[in-house]
Amino acid sequence: MESHEQQFLILNEPMIVGAMISIVVGALSLFIGITYFKKWGYLWREWITTVDHKKIGVMYILVALVMLFRGGVDALLMRGQTAMPENGLLDAQHYNEIFTTHGVIMILFMAMPFIIGLMNVVTPLQIGARDVAFPRLNSVSFWLFAVGTGLFNISFIIGGSPDAGWSAYFPLASLEFSPTVGNNYYAISLQIAGLGTLATGINFLVTILKMRAPGMTLMKMPMFTWSILITNVIIVFAFPVLTVALALMTMDRQFGTKFFAMQDGGMDMLWANLFWVWGHPEVYIVILPAFGIYSEIISTFARKNLYGYKSMVISMVAISLLSFVVWAHHFYTMGHGVMVNSVFSITTMLIAVPTGVKIFNWLLTLHKGKISFTTPMLYSLAFIPIFTIGGVTGVMLAMASADYQYHNTMFLVAHFHYVLIPGTVFAVIAGFHFWFPKVFGFRLNEKLGKLAFWFITISFNVAFFPLFILGLNGMTRRMYTYSESTGYGPLNMLSFLGAVGLGIGFIILVYNLYWSIRYSPRDETGDPWDARSLEWATHGPVPFYNFARIPQVNDLDAFWYAKKHNKPLWSGPIEKIHMPNNSGMPFLMSGAFFGAGFCLVFSWWIPTIIFTILIFVFMALRSFEQDHGYYVSVEEVERIERELGGEK
Amino acid sequence: MKKKWLLLSAIFTIATVLAGCENPLMVLDPKGPNAKTLSDTIIMSIIVMCGILFVVYVLYAYMLIKYRASRMGEDYEPPHEHGSTKLEIIWTVIPIIIVVFLSVITVQSTSKVESKPVGYENEEPLVIYAASSNWKWHFSYPEEGIETVNYVNLPVDRPVEFRLYSYGPITSFWIPQLAGQKYAMSAHVTKIHMAADVPGSYMGRNSNFNGQGYAQMEFEAQAMTQADYDEWVNDVKTTAPKLTDADYDKLLETDFVGRKSYSSTHLEFNPPPEGQHHGTPNEGTPNTEEDGDKTAPSSEPHTHPNHTE
């Protein structure tokens, strides 16, 4: 639309120009490096076209780590700006863009892909499968997610970032009040990434329901697999709501409809409802897998089976159901009366019950255990007390009347960071350390890992605990500055110091990755932690076909009992293995999505239409394609098994 | 582990000391009955939550100290434990009891703060319309026939009913020491009940992000004795200019203004979105003849919205 007062390249902000230059230099050196070492072919064959769930998982996690860096820099800038009253590091516009992108990136482009990455790497292995149900679709999922991420991230150099908050409430996010293309980017990049996530949801649902090893009934599944199953059910139910909401947003902003407008029958409150009908289940999409990860790790390092397995499953199912009936607690203050607020208060507080059951089950798993404090275990143990603070403050926020005083304040900000960081972030870091040797064949250094852990855990509390107090003292969120007379200065400074500590912790974590790749001793057993579930039964690194012979499962913790009772998981001879072919099509089709999305952001209709047609061409090609995969011969499997140090 | 607890308790202490040596925290320092209800609810819930934290932390510390591998001996092999129905029932039922207790408190306190403040049930409330526009608050006193911008004065010991709406993005009207917050939206009017017990100047602000000028969108709420209040009203009535339609349009379009006072309100020529649409925003076709005017606040032209070069 003509009325956009936009700049194409953002050149008036030195920080953004600096970032732009470093991105260009980084991309250029990457390009030159790959060309110099002649790695383009390798990259294309082994990664870009891959349908291997493990490699796709690794790519998801790689993107998540990059986004953790981006979102982390946003966070440091925000905390830096508010560290002192009347600070001039950022202006209002820049600050508004940064807290918006911080929220979107951390939830959708960091937490989600990290979770989905671990889910990709681990789930098929845990259920004794060779890949997911639809490997090609899995690759489509990843590449759609990747181009969505890319599209969202270029917004800050081309056209301007969204600046209406990660919840993008109307009418603020409407064309009238947000005339730049920022919120077009928001709607379209989330739409594309969301399509990928929806496909992942269906893919893993089918994988877990149909591809479990013989003998693995639902109630013999590892807890992580259970959490993934439930998570994907939530994805399948929640993401279509986001898809519709974002489509309506695009219509409103670019095609002149008035779904969320203030006049002509539109309703701004409808957006808030749709957003949180998706948004609250989304919280559980990133937290339930974390519960699964902790269950695996706590049980492994307490050397004990998970306490109350059945009640763990039931409570996760209960949480998933409740997650769909609590959304209005995000806007008690909208004035919908005592009755509605009371109902949503009660449903929200009820979530504490199954969550409490899980906490007590973990504690009882530790009871009579033999606890060893490895890095993944440290994160899992730190999770319990910190997350409980997040949980109880959640119950406080659930009380509608009291929420009239917490809503939109730093108290709320503190609460959800106390839930999401020990919940999701600690879990994915723990899972990262835990399953790293499975994928790469060696462990991350424990000493560096523990150092990073202490930095992260302590700094986290320094960064976020003060916010509870600031909130109770009337400091609202999203304020880019405040006056000295408010007295908010000292605690904000403390919080900033904590944020710096968190940053240092993450740097140590990344340095550990580098150090361990160079120096860490290689592990030959495939089971470095003496763990319990099937993924540890095969080699590490895992051969591309996962298992030479499909295991036969008789118990929960099948691998543990196989080790203990010296009872092999396999019988019979090795047979030829059927595997899916690689394909470049998902990558190319996602490229078309990127083109269509980018042009749509700027309302360049003709190229948008051309790219959209291209997307359909790729879909049509796929429909007529004959691809039955290929077989790995028995000799080949035996050769690989020998090379990996003996048949498994 | 010990290190962590030391540090954690150090943080807690520092935080409490920092908070304690200045004024008490705003939300926990109420100056009116509705804010008092909320403050009591919050303090009560904090106590309950500390109890829960205590139980979890004791169990947690016990498990970590007692069952660490270094204390368990080389040959110790943990037993297989299935679970215990008795324990499961205990830690399901007790939380349910706590939730029931908190639910009762919530419903009670919510209905309490959503109606006239306790002790003022029989008094006629002073009605003040509070409308937000980028990035100001307009306060209209229909009873007195005066209007202010970015400050609001109210008499103590009298119930006050704020009626909220917005020209544009959703805002949230909040005077923490007098009452909890509520959204102001363009399509219908929402209400906040409050009363001030003590004269004084209280911080009020928009707490819902609404664009560039959000951080500055504060106002002063001054509670004064009835005599002082009457005097102020008189003063405004005699000295302040009248607010005309054109003035008001200009005011709406200006991003920031300081304090202003007028001896008439905008309610007559630019009425709030209540009446027919009250409670059912934008239902049906709002632009029929008889209420075309009433949607006026939302159809105000915003030629220069929040984006500046």
- H or E segment to which residue A416 belongs: helix A410-420
Per-residue model confidence as pLDDT tens digits over A168-219: 999 999 999 999 999 999 999 999 999 999 999 999 999 999 999 999 999 9
Please report the residues numbered 172 through 191 in chain B whose beta carbons come closer than 8 angstroms to any beta carbon of chain A: 172, 174, 176, 179-183, 185-187, 190-191
pLDDT at A201: 97
- Work out the pLDDT band at A27, boundaries 50, 70, 90: confident
* pTM of the predicted model as reported, rounded to 2 decimal places: 0.92
Let me know if residue A397 belongs to a domain.
Answer: no
- Of A33, A9, A117, give the one whose Cα is nearest residue A68: A117
Q: How many of the other CB atoms lie within 10 Å of CB of B285?
A: 9
- H or E segment to which residue B160 belongs: strand B160-167
Domain span holding position A60: 1-301
Name the residue of chain A whose CA is nearest to B114's CA.
A338
Amino acid, res. A121: V
Rg (CA), chain B: 26
Q: In this structure, are strands B200-206 and B190-194 parallel, antiparallel, or unpaired?
A: unpaired
Pick left, alpha or beta for residue A398 (phi over 0 → left; psi -120 to 50 → alpha; otherwise beta).
alpha
DSSP string of A483-550? Answer: -GGG--HHHHHHHHHHHHHHHHHHHHHHHHHHHHHHHPPBPSSS-TT---SGGGTS-SSPPTTS-SS-
Q: Are B195 and B32 in contact (CB under 8 A)?
A: yes
Q: Is the pLDDT of residue B115 over 50?
A: yes
Q: Which two tokens stand for residue B120?
A: 């003022």
Q: Are B217 and B136 in contact (CB under 8 A)?
A: yes
| Largest separation between any pair of C-alpha atoms in chain A | 78
Say what angle helices A489-519 and B2-21 make with each other, to 10 degrees. 160
Task: Verify cis geometry, omega within 30 degrees of 0, for the bond prior to A528.
Answer: no
Name the residue of chain B whose CA is nearest to A303's CA.
B78
Please report the residues numbered 457 through 476 in chain A whose beta carbons come closer than 8 angstroms to any beta carbon of chain B: 457-458, 461-462, 465-466, 469, 471-474, 476
Q: Is the pLDDT of residue B306 over 50?
A: no
What are residue A630's DSSP bridge partners?
A: A579
What span, in angstroms and rounded, lies between the C-alpha atoms of A191 and A627?
29
Q: Is the pLDDT of residue B283 over 90?
A: no
What letter would DSSP give residue A108? I
- Of A295, A328, A492, A467, give the one whose Cα is nearest residue A403: A328
Average pLDDT along chain A: 93
Task: Report the percent of chain A where pLDDT is more than 90.
Answer: 85
Let me know if residue A160 belongs to a domain.
Answer: yes
- Calculated CA dihedral for residues A52, A58, A63, A66, nearest 10 degrees: -160
Name the residue of chain B whose CA is nearest to A86's CA.
B215
- H or E segment to which residue B163 belongs: strand B160-167
The sheet with strand B218-224 has its strands ordered as: B151-155, B218-224, B200-206, B171-175, B179-184
What letter would DSSP give residue A442? B
Are A401 and B113 a contacting pair at CB < 8 A?
Answer: yes
Q: Are A497 and A465 in contact (CB under 8 A)?
A: no
Q: Are A97 and A154 in contact (CB under 8 A)?
A: no
Q: Is the pLDDT of residue B282 over 80?
A: no
- Work out the pLDDT band at B119, boundaries 50, 70, 90: confident
What span, in angstroms and rounded, lies between the C-alpha atoms of A508 and A510?
5
Task: Verify cis geometry, omega within 30 degrees of 0, for the bond prior to A529.
Answer: no
Name the residue of chain A whose CA is nearest to B57's CA.
A385
What letter would DSSP give residue A88? -
Name the residue of chain B whose CA is nearest to A394's CA.
B49
Are B59 and A363 a contacting pair at CB < 8 A?
Answer: yes
pLDDT at B23: 66
Report chain A residues whose CB lies below 8 A from the CB of B27. Answer: 405, 471-474
Taking each continuous run of H as one helix and of E as one strand, the counts in chain B are: 7, 11
Per-residue model confidence as pLDDT tens digits over A418-452: 999 999 999 999 999 999 999 999 999 999 999 99
- Work out the pLDDT band at B305, boundaries 50, 70, 90: very low
pLDDT at B9: 62
- Of A172, A170, A81, A151, give the one whose Cα is nearest residue A109: A151
Q: What is the 3-state secondary structure (H, E, C) of A8-67?
A: CECCCCHHHHHHHHHHHHHHHHHHHHHHHCCCHHHHHHHHHCCCCHHHHHHHHHHHHHHH
Per-residue model confidence as pLDDT tens digits over B225-275: 999 999 999 999 999 999 999 999 999 999 999 999 999 999 999 999 986
Per-residue model confidence as pLDDT tens digits over A214-261: 999 999 999 999 999 999 999 999 999 999 999 999 999 999 999 998
**Domains detected in chain B:** 126-277+295-299 (2.60.40.420)
- Of B254, B140, B138, give the one whose Cα is nearest residue B206: B138
Let me know if residue A61 belongs to a domain.
Answer: yes
Nearest beta carbon to residue B7 from set A164, A405, A458? A458
Let me know if residue A210 belongs to a domain.
Answer: yes
A199 vs A33 pLDDT, higher one: A199
* Domain count across chain A: 1
Query: Looking at the complex, does the CB of residue B101 fall below 8 Å from at least one CB of chain A?
Result: no
Let me know if residue A333 belongs to a domain.
Answer: no
How big, in percent rounded to 5, are the helix, strand and coil portions of chain B? 40, 20, 40
Tokens 């050149």 belong to A11
3-state secondary structure of B194: strand
The CATH number of residue A19's host domain is: 1.20.210.10
Q: B199 vs chain A: nearest CA distance in angstroms?
A: 19
Are A370 and B53 a contacting pair at CB < 8 A?
Answer: no
Let me know if residue A626 belongs to a domain.
Answer: no
pLDDT (mean) for B98-108: 96
Answer yes or no: is the ipTM higher than 0.95. Answer: no
What span, in angstroms and rounded, lies between the C-alpha atoms of A227 and A242?
22
Let me know if residue A174 belongs to a domain.
Answer: yes
Q: Compute the count of residue pairs across chains A and B with CB atoms less than 8 Å apart.
A: 311
Let me know if residue A447 belongs to a domain.
Answer: no
Q: Is the pLDDT of residue A466 over 60?
A: yes
What span, in angstroms and rounded, lies between the C-alpha atoms of A278 and A271?
11
